[in-house]
């Protein structure tokens, strides 16, 4: 059966691979990737409308079309009730991160003049895997002095002021703009964030980059956007009753998105968009995505797949496979 071209169907994407000095090997193996570079894989951008880094539709009636082109030609259908980013882009970016080494101590600005693009970066992490005892940094210790922190944020003394959090698979950690943070070695996660790549590094562990040179830091810009009212992060976790049907558990909410974990059993269930653009990232197991009205072909889902559900799409049916079904990290663009 053939289907007409339509932007109002689920869109799968070809991922972008990012070489990083702090990258690891776990994602490469889990996703069965062949790398086009010699260095370690740090990030995969699974769904992106970031300028110059737009992902391309994989399969379906819009195969080969970029997310940028979808937004340019069919923005109202793609977004529905969701708002575009401040620069008119699709508002959410989905990526996976493999921290074979520590990421820099860093911070992101909010929307507005402190971001060079005008678009800030609020994000949320969903822990996929971790080494024993692995931690992340997210927030400052209680009582951190602005004056002392400013004097010590650019060297190893910054560690005296950072809140560390031991992580477990399934933890969700919300990281608003203005929150000092760092993903530390041994952590693999899926991230849903604003469509931005603005990062201000404070301290980079005195290491060299892939080119053998010290990586650039941005201490003055970082200190201008530190929000000292933000305490140490507290993880949230999904809660599900059974493996049957389709269950939904809230993880995080902010101005830009709501984040949920979905558990999909073999009986499956219908997921309705209610007019908002959704991103789905398969974080465990496998299954199938089906049409509610027969307007598009069913697609298999596997770990690592990311899907955009346009706001103009009524919804989809999700069905899990195997004994444990499928787990999905779902972002709802607001």
Q: Catalytic amino acids?
A: 201
The string over 194-227, giving b where at least 16 C-beta atoms fall within 10 Å of a residue's C-beta and e elsewhere, is bbbbbebbbbbeeeeeeeeeeeebbbebbbebbe
Q: Which residues 6+ apart lie within 8 Å of 220 measured at CB?
A: none
Q: CB 293: neighbour CB atoms within 10 A?
A: 8
Q: What span, in angstroms and rounded, lies between the C-alpha atoms of 47 and 56? A: 8
The C-alpha torsion from 136 through 209 and 218 to 150, rounded to 10°, is 50
β-pairing, 16-24 vs 56-57, is unpaired
Task: Specify whether the CB–CB gap between 122 and 159 falls below 8 A.
Answer: no
Phi-psi category of 178—alpha, beta or left, where left has phi over 0 and alpha has psi -120 to 50? left
Q: What span, in angstroms and rounded, lies between the C-alpha atoms of 285 and 207? A: 37
Q: Which residues 6+ apart lie within 8 Å of 223 measured at CB?
A: 150, 153, 202
Each as own residue / partner, the long-range contacts of residues 110-113 (CB below 8 Å, 24 or more positions apart, any chain) are: 110/177, 110/178, 110/225, 111/86, 111/177
Element (H, E) at 219: helix 219-225
Residue 255, classed as helix, strand or coil, is coil
Which burial class, exposed, middle or buried, applies to 233 when counting CB atoms under 10 A from its CB (0-12, 13-18, 19+)?
A: buried
């Amino acid at each position: 059966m053939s289907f007409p071209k339509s932007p109002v169907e689920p869109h799968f994407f070809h991922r972008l691979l990012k070489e990083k000095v702090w990258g690891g090997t776990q994602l490469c193996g889990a996703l069965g990737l062949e790398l086009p570079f010699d260095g370690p894989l740090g990030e995969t951008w699974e769904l992106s409308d970031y300028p110059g880094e737009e992902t391309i539709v994989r399969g379906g009636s819009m195969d080969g079309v970029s997310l940028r082109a979808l937004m340019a030609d069919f923005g109202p259908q793609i977004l529905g009730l969701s708002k575009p980013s401040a620069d008119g882009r699709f508002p959410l970016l989905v990526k996976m991160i493999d921290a074979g080494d520590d990421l820099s101590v860093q911070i992101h600005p909010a929307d507005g003049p402190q971001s060079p693009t005008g678009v800030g970066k609020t994000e949320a992490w969903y822990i996929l895997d971790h080494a024993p005892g692995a931690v992340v940094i997210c927030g400052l210790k209680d009582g951190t002095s602005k004056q002392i922190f400013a004097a010590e944020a650019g060297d190893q003394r910054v560690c005296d002021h950072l809140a560390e959090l031991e992580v477990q698979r399934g933890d969700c950690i919300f990281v608003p703009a203005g929150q000092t943070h760092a993903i530390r070695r041994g952590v693999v996660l899926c991230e849903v964030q604003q469509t931005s790549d603005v990062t201000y590094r404070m301290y980079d562990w005195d290491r060299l980059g892939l080119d053998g040179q010290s990586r650039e830091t941005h201490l003055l810009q970082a200190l201008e956007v530190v929000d000292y009212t933000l305490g140490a992060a507290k993880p949230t976790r999904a809660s599900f009753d059974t493996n049957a049907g389709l269950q939904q558990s809230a993880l995080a909410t902010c101005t830009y998105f709501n984040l949920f974990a979905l558990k999909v059993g073999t009986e499956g269930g219908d997921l309705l968009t209610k007019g908002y653009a959704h991103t789905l990232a398969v974080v465990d197991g496998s299954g199938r995505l089906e049409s509610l009205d027969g307007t598009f072909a069913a697609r298999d889902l596997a770990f690592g797949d990311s899907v955009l559900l346009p706001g103009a799409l009524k919804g989809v049916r999700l069905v899990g496979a195997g004994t444990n079904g499928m787990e999905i990290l779902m972002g709802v663009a607001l």
